[in-house]
Amino acid sequence: MQPLRMTPFLLDTNIIVNVLRQRSDADLLVGKLLDQGHPLASCSITVTEIYAGMRSNEEKATRALMKSLVFLPITADIAEHAGLLKARYAKRGKVISIQDATIAAVCIAYRCTLVTENVKDFPMPEVRLYPLSEAA
């Protein structure tokens, strides 16, 4: 894998689904980020969620989009950090899914910005967010 020149933007599952289904302004945002030269990324959690929810008529477009994204691997250290994030927020009474804790840990490890519509799912101050609502 070649080193990235710019910090990648990790696309949350909801953004990828909205691009594929041409909902909201997600496709415009993704186009804007690409035009600016930003690498767009995914990780194993988003890949799993995308293929789990893929409709049969979306297979070709889904495969093309997912292959175009930089894949950020989840290491043992990232998985550990995700578990610690989940535990930390559970102690505060905030339930965070394993998926969201893992996506947050990936963003922190790779210093990415997370593009999402679900800002409330990522209360960690160390996660840089690029909310779709502010991008339009």
Q: pLDDT of 115-136, one tens digit each?
A: 999 999 999 999 999 877 654 4
Task: Give which of 108, 102, 104 is closest to 123, Cα–Cα.
Answer: 104
- The hierarchical CATH code for the domain 9-135 is 3.40.50.1010
Predicted TM-score of the model (pTM): 0.89
Strands 40-42, 113-116: pairing kind: unpaired
Contacts of 39 by beta carbon, 8 Å cutoff, 6+ apart: 4, 5, 6, 8, 9, 70
What gap in Å lies between CA 78 and CA 104, rounded to an integer? 9
Task: For residue 40, name the pLDDT band (cuts at 50, 70, 90).
Answer: very high
**Structural domain boundaries in the chain:** 9-135
Burial group, residue 120, by CB count within 10 angstroms (0-12, 13-18, 19+): exposed
